[in-house]
């Protein structure tokens, strides 16, 4: 290898040349011109192959005839080095063929070796051309990576958006400026009973219909209002969505205009063009049901409080007015006032219990409870009520029932609520059964009646606070708190409650309680 001053760009050149004189001429030229070449000379095709295997070159000069082959054999190797073919005068056809076969350029050897004078220029061009090609390739590769990354990012964003829209618990509809539907998520399909492909391109007013819950009058769609007013618009709190099959769902609807900046128009929102509207639909059946239950509850509680209070007041006023009332009558009146006060107290206790359970501030005692004695106390306290309806309360308790570690007064309240309901929902002359037994480490208490029963669809709701089944034609007193309290007490004792019922045949509540709860902490119901 030769050295030239460091300041010049040096090229690594491979010369494939079998002619010793041509080799000499090349060397002389390099020396004479002080060409910045680090060169290697291969005297045959085999030697050229070896050199290419072992070294790295910027350019290769190859004589056409190489003794053991031709320069075409080198082109066949499809190497990454630009090859300049040297042919004799009159062999231009070979040169053209070489170019077609992938040679970068050619030199025509003349007798005076003038070709060596143009050689540096061609070599430099070949190297620069190669470098430019490589830079272009790098740029192309980088661009391709960027495009690939961006495409993947866009696909991921699109996927995320589509998954988000599909998994939303609310309905989402987008319309264009002409009110035509362009997006309709699965919740909208459920609410309107239309499939998304059926509604795309259709006017939203044809698909999404609102009416007033009370008056049933049609209401304007908030999305249409938002398009017109270019402002956010909300539905009313009495909106109902009417589905294709007439099903009505209480709905909360909010729509916003979609504004887009068109061709660099001012960023001021007021100036941006409204290109559509997006509307969110939220099913508020549960909230409206709770509102209804609360209203029912308030009127029910007021009624429940007023009945005993009215009678207390009436008896007290009569006693005040009639100072000479016979003692036995006064005694009777006082007894009634006492009983009615107890009713009031238990109602208020129930309300307080519920609010304490809600606040998580309930304290329970852990004492051995004689469940049979508790059942007896409940039965004797409810006997007058049962007698009024000629209902017999039967008891079936396993002898020597194991004691339960728990809170006696709450257990009494639990059994009382169930037996009270059993009497309340039984026809006159019927009977109610309270049973208790132990299985393994569990106490099982059942309260059965043969009364009105509960339709299957209401069973999951009866333990909800304030929930009361609407029995057509029947108006029984109550607050809808009893079973909620029962459930809270069962949970406190780490047990569970099941209910089986058949309308017209009767109802059985079964409570499973561990005899010794695992820890003394009171779980929040």
Chain contacts with ligand ADP (rule: CB under 6 A): 417, 421-422, 425, 449, 451-454, 462, 467-469, 478-484, 507
201: left (phi over 0), alpha (psi -120 to 50) or beta: left
**CB contact set of 165 (below 8 Å; sequence gap of 6+):** 172, 183, 185
Closest approach, Cβ 391 to ligand ADP, in A, equals 12
Residue (239 or 304) nearer to ligand ADP, CB: 304
Q: Which of 191, 366, 389, 213 is nearest to 281 (CA)?
A: 191
Residue 244 has a CB neighbour count (10 Å cut-off) of 11
Residue (163 or 298) nearer to ligand ADP, CB: 298
Closest approach, Cβ 344 to ligand ADP, in A, equals 15
Closest approach, Cβ 482 to ligand ADP, in A, equals 3
Residue (173 or 422) nearer to ligand ADP, CB: 422
**CB contact set of 228 (below 8 Å; sequence gap of 6+):** none
**CB contact set of 158 (below 8 Å; sequence gap of 6+):** none
What DSSP letter does each residue of 126-182 carry, written as one string? HHHHHHHHHHHHHHHHHHHHHHHHHHHHHHHHHHHHHHHHHH-SSEEEEEETTSBEE
Residue (483 or 492) nearer to ligand ADP, CB: 483
Residue (406 or 451) nearer to ligand ADP, CB: 451
Closest approach, Cβ 484 to ligand ADP, in A, equals 6
Residue (106 or 509) nearer to ligand ADP, CB: 509
Closest approach, Cβ 503 to ligand ADP, in A, equals 9
In this structure, what token pair is assigned to residue 364? 């329970």
Closest approach, Cβ 421 to ligand ADP, in A, equals 4
Residue (168 or 309) nearer to ligand ADP, CB: 309
In this structure, what token pair is assigned to residue 42? 């291969």
With 0-12 / 13-18 / 19 or more C-beta atoms within 10 angstroms meaning exposed / middle / buried, residue 512 is middle
DSSP β-ladder status, 239-242 and 209-212: antiparallel
Ordered alpha helix ranges (H), 3-114: 20-33, 45-54, 71-76, 92-100
SS3 218: strand
Residue (47 or 481) nearer to ligand ADP, CB: 481
Closest approach, Cβ 422 to ligand ADP, in A, equals 5
SS3 469: coil
Residue (480 or 517) nearer to ligand ADP, CB: 480
* Bridge partners, residue 445, by sequence: 436, 511
Closest approach, Cβ 155 to ligand ADP, in A, equals 54
Rounded distance between C-alpha atoms, residue 483 and residue 509, angstroms: 10
Closest approach, Cβ 224 to ligand ADP, in A, equals 43
């Amino acid at each position: 290898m030769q050295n030239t001053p460091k300041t010049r760009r040096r090229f690594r050149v491979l010369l494939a040349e079998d002619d010793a004189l041509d080799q000499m001429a090349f060397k002389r030229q390099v020396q004479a011109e002080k060409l910045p070449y680090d060169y290697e000379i291969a005297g045959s095709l085999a030697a050229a192959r070896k050199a290419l295997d072992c070294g790295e070159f910027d350019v290769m000069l190859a004589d056409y005839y190489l003794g053991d082959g031709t320069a075409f054999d080198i082109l066949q190797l499809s190497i990454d080095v630009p090859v300049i073919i040297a042919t004799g005068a009159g062999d231009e056809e070979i040169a053209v063929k070489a170019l077609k076969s992938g040679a970068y350029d050619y030199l025509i050897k003349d007798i005076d070796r003038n070709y060596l004078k143009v050689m540096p220029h061609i070599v430099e061009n070949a190297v620069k051309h190669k470098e430019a090609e490589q830079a272009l390739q790098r740029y192309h590769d980088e661009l391709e990576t960027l495009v690939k990354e961006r495409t993947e990012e866009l696909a991921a964003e699109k996927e995320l958006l589509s998954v988000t829209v599909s998994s939303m618990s609310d309905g989402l509809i987008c319309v264009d400026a002409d009110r035509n539907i362009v997006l309709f998520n699965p919740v909208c399909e459920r609410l309107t009973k239309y499939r998304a492909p059926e509604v795309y391109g259709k006017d939203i007013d044809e698909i999404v219909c609102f009416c007033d819950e009370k008056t049933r009058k049609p209401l304007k769609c908030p999305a249409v209002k938002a398009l017109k007013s270019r402002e956010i618009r909300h539905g009313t709190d009495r909106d109902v969505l009417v589905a294709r099959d007439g099903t009505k769902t209480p709905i909360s609807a909010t729509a916003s205009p979609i504004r887009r900046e068109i061709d660099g128009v001012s960023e001021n929102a007021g100036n941006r063009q409204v290109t559509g509207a997006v509307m969110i639909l939220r099913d508020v059946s549960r909230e409206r049901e709770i509102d209804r239950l609360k209203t029912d509850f308030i009127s029910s509680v007021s009624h429940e409080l007023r009945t005993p209070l009215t009678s207390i007041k009436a008896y007290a006023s009569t006693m005040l007015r009639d100072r000479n009332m016979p003692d036995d009558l006064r005694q009777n009146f006082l007894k009634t006032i006492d009983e009615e006060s107890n009713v009031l107290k238990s109602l208020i206790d129930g309300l307080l219990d519920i609010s304490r359970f809600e606040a998580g501030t309930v304290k329970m005692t852990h004492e051995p409870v004689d469940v049979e004695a508790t059942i007896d106390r409940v039965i004797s306290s409810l006997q007058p009520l049962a007698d009024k309806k000629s209902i017999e309360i039967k008891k079936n308790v396993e002898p020597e029932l194991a004691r339960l570690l728990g809170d006696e007064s709450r257990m009494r309240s639990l059994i009382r609520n169930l037996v009270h309901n059993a009497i309340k929902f039984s026809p006159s002359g019927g009977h109610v059964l309270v049973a208790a037994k132990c299985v393994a480490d569990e106490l099982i208490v059942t309260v059965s009646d043969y009364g009105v029963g509960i339709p299957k669809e209401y069973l999951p709701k009866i333990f909800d606070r304030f929930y009361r089944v609407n029995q057509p034609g029947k108006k029984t007193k109550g607050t809808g708190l009893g079973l909620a309290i029962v459930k809270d007490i069962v949970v406190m004792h780490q047990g569970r409650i099941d209910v089986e019922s058949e309308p017209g045949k009767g109802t059985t509540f079964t409570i499973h309680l561990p005899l010794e709860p695992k820890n003394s902490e009171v779980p929040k119901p």
